[in-house]
Amino acid sequence: MDTDTAPPLRMLFGRWRFWLAMLAFVVILAGVLFGYDQGVISGALGGITATFNLSTFMQEVVTSWVTLGALVGALIAGGMADKYGRTRTLVIAGVLFALGAVLQSVAQGTGVLIAGRFVVGFGVGVASVAAPLYAAEMAPTATRGRFVSTYQLAITIGILLADIVDAVLSSSGQWRLMLGLSIVPGVLLVFVVLMMPESPRWLVKVGRRDEAKASLAKTQGGADVGGRIDAIERDASSTTQAAWKDVFMPAIRKALWVGVGLAVFQQITGINAVIYYSDEIFKFAGFTTPQQQTRATLIAIGLVNVLATFIAVAWVDRFGRRPLLLAGLIGMTTGLVAIGASFLFLDKNPSSGGGTSMVGVVTLVAMIVYIASFAFSLGPVVWTMINEIFPNQVRGKAVAFCTAINWGAAFLVSASFLSLVDAIGEATTFLLFAVACVVAFVWVWRRVPETKGKSLEEIEQAWTEHEAAQAAPRTLPVG
Ligand code: BGC
């Protein structure tokens, strides 16, 4: 669409603001889809299990194949975005979301259902790399950082929306509608992205200078568009696109370990076990009806997650990354130990009159503590740091690698959670996540540097100096 077709907005905010708002809308849609497709399964799983008479293993497959698809999607998204352009890649992601939603909602057997889960996950993985990349390239420098936190906030809003849909539809058990509804934001994403101009940086990279100029003039306007395109061109020719092997070279290794560690710890401390299986967990804890379970999920998980993410967005630049991570891990450990202990020691049966059991009450409070602690720390801080610790040349691929590792870890946890509960019990499973939090705490304390208030170049410099001090000087290949 040309801006001319949107006169009221344009008149209200000016052309520049209009495109920035549209860009924010793309990022929000991608994040909401990510969150919705992750969150919705908690309410849908009961109905799916009843329809197809699923074993524990098959419940895990149905739940976790979204993350498997996302792992593959994240790995190839960078290449797709380079080859076909940022907007076309996002359109493909939107089509995949919609297609996957249709497949899931019409599935007459588990094969089609699982295929649908994988396709949706693939879209999630592609969008999780392409949307922040597109935003970073399109946004003016001053607002760039805010898009990472906006994305995380959008993920939590997506999870909340899924929890609301689950709560509304839980009594009728309409899992097909729950899963099918994500077609709406999927189609919306396709249409919105089709209106958006391509990233000028990508256009310059592929030698389409005139179109790059037109795109920049349209979205940011201002004086000397040609000069700015020249600057992008110089930048593009001075920074060679790294190859995959460069991501693993010794000079990057320290940053890579930090990125991979953050990605893994974000998952093995249990977040998606809680998000995907929250209704099941509340069921174990004595919330007997699906309505009670979805309502508890809506409040303790969905709402608290969104609210606490706001805290992180406000504080991440004031308090720094390390304090938030460390404080969050203490809160998460406390919540997990309380959940474990309540399963171990408290009475699971509802008190007379069918009210909620003691385990239920303690679990609810402990879940709130756990989710809030995650949402102001590991949730947003991990993504912020993964996007800032790598040198310019390898950033794209290194971020995609860490994102894929994150999905891999999410897959392992979501594919084994129910079996783990069957094998060792709820209490031990949650205590195991608590142990992972303690290990994460020690690791963050010892290994993760503070990046607050440092420019990307200063962070890059710090790694290089650290490397140089430790071993023979090694530099990144340039030019
Ligand atoms: C994680 C997701 C998680 C979400 C919960 C994100 O930072 O990467 O795996 O589901 O937070 O809010």
Separation between Cα atoms, residue 19 and residue 152, nearest integer Å: 21
Amino acid at 84: Y
Q: What is the pLDDT of residues 36-77, one digit of tens each?
A: 988 888 889 989 999 999 999 999 999 989 999 999 999 898
Distance 6 CA to ligand 1 centre (A): 35
And the tokens for 14? 């000016």
Instruction: Identify the weakest region by mean pLDDT among 34-38, 294-298, 390-394, 401-405.
Output: 390-394
In whole angstroms, how far apart are CA 56 and each of 272, 391, 420, 422, 477? 17, 44, 10, 9, 50
Distance 364 CA to ligand 1 centre (A): 20
Residue with CA nearest ligand 1 atom 12: 156
Compute the average pLDDT of residues 317-341: 92
In whole angstroms, how far apart are CA 106 and each of 95, 113, 114, 179? 17, 8, 12, 10
Atom of ligand 1 nearest to the CA of 272: 10
And the tokens for 179? 């899963």
Is the CB of 410 inside a 6 Å radius of any atom of ligand 1? yes
Residue with CA nearest ligand 1 atom 4: 379
* Chain-centroid distance, C-alpha 95: 19
pLDDT band at 3 (very low <50, low <70, confident <90, very high): very low
Q: Is residue 134's pLDDT more than 60?
A: yes
Query: In terms of pLDDT, which residue wins out, 69 or 137?
Result: 69
State the pTM of this model: 0.82
Atom of ligand 1 nearest to the CA of 305: 12
Atom of ligand 1 nearest to the CA of 383: 7
Compute the average pLDDT of residues 303-315: 86
What pLDDT score was predicted for residue 2?
36
Confirm if 360 and 422 have CB atoms less than 8 A apart: no
Residue 44: CB partners within 8 Å, gap ≥ 6? Answer: 166, 175, 178, 179
